[in-house]
Amino acid sequence: MTSPATSATGAPDLPEYAPLPAIAKGAALNEHGYHVWQVERNLYAVTDNVYMSAFLTTPDGVVIFDAPPNIGHNIRRAVDEITAANGLTSRVTHLVYSHHHCDHQGASSVFGPDIIRIGHDETRRLLLRDDDPARPAPDVTFADSYTLEVGGERVDLAWHGPNHSPDNIYIHFPDHDTLMFIDVVNAGWIPIYNLNLSDDVIGYTAAPAIALDYPWTHLISGHLGRVATRQDVAMHQQYITDIEASSREALASVNPGPLFGHYGENVWAGVSAYLDAVTEHAAAPVIAKYTGVLGGADIEVYTKTTTFAIMQSIRLDRGPSGPVHP
Ligand SMILES: [Zn+2]
């Protein structure tokens, strides 16, 4: 990363980054700003190269999986385009929520009040709490698992504990060789800040292995321009494993004594100096390893904030606990 004095956009203070690796490149968008493609049989994905949604076309109606406002009315356009080409009804009958977050569901109300919305019990609780007219709470909810059958197609929904959010579910299409699991793995890119803005570090880091336990070839992971492969999940797991190892090494090697000594009675300054030093030490080799390999890896704040979150989880959740004062 360099900070040039001037740039072609006339924005001199913006940093420049390495060219994106090929695996991070998005899709070619149409004149409306979306790309829709067949994932498997009658399951389709639609992207604007930032967000991703999916839908299933059936003789009895269309089932939508997530309604990101970034894609918004282009979900409707994509559904109309595909159903018209295949002589199927374009009527949307169901919308499945992967989780409650506004950035993935804020176009839900576009589909009106008369469809059936499905989501986890906790999604309903959180949407009632958030009271956002753009995201009506689901009508059909479940605690552990739910099988949706529409027009001869089957979709298995399951909750395996909190991860990115408390309510984030696994959406398996057993007859489409596909899993939809949002906001954990990004195909060809590192997670953004704090493990993709996740609530539960241990749940987040364990989730890819749960995803891999399902049989699938295609992973719809909610962001960017393409569907993920099992290799993408393995690369993500390696990135997280590298941060965990580097964090443990940094916790063992950075000596807090001189830092706390320097600040004396300002103990919070000592804490900051120590944890910032551990974070810097842990993140640096990971940033170096993945720059040019995964998109966003040289945007250092992403790996640093994710490293900070993982390092805190190692200290606070997993231990081992530090020495006890004699
Ligand atoms: Zn989210």
Question: Mind listing the pLDDT tens digit for each residue in 91-117?
Answer: 999 999 999 999 999 999 999 999 999
Per residue in 250-300, pLDDT (tens digit) is: 999 999 999 999 999 999 999 999 999 999 999 999 999 999 999 999 999
Q: Cα of 50 to ligand 1 centre, how many Å?
A: 13
Distance 98 CA to ligand 1 centre (A): 9
Q: What is the pTM of this model?
A: 0.94
The long-range contacts involving 71-77, CB below 8 angstroms and separated by at least 24 positions, are 71/34, 71/46, 71/47, 71/107, 72/107, 72/110, 73/107, 73/110, 74/32, 74/33, 74/34, 74/46, 74/48, 75/46, 75/107, 75/110, 76/110, 76/111, 77/32, 77/34
Residue 323's pLDDT band, with cuts at 50, 70 and 90, is confident
Average pLDDT over residues 149-159: 97
Ligand 1: centre distance to CA 283 (Å): 24
Of residues 18 and 306, more confidence is placed in 306
Q: β-pairing, 116-120 with 140-142? A: parallel
The mean of the pLDDT values for the chain is 95
Neighbours of 87 (CB within 10 A): 7
How far does residue 103's CA lie from ligand 1's centre (Å)? 7
Phi, psi of 4 (to 5 degrees): -70, 155
Check residue 318 and give its pLDDT: 87
What is the DSSP secondary-structure string of 268-279?
A: HHHHHHHHHHHH
How close is the Cα of 165 to the center of ligand 1, in Å? 7
| pLDDT surpassing 80 at residue 322 | no
Per-residue confidence (pLDDT) for residue 321, from 0 to 100: 76
Report the alpha-carbon distance of residue 296 to residue 298 in Å, rounded.
Answer: 6
Q: Where are the beta strands (DSSP E) in 121-169?
A: 140-142, 145-150, 153-158
**What tens digit of pLDDT does each residue of 188-198 get?**
999 999 999 99
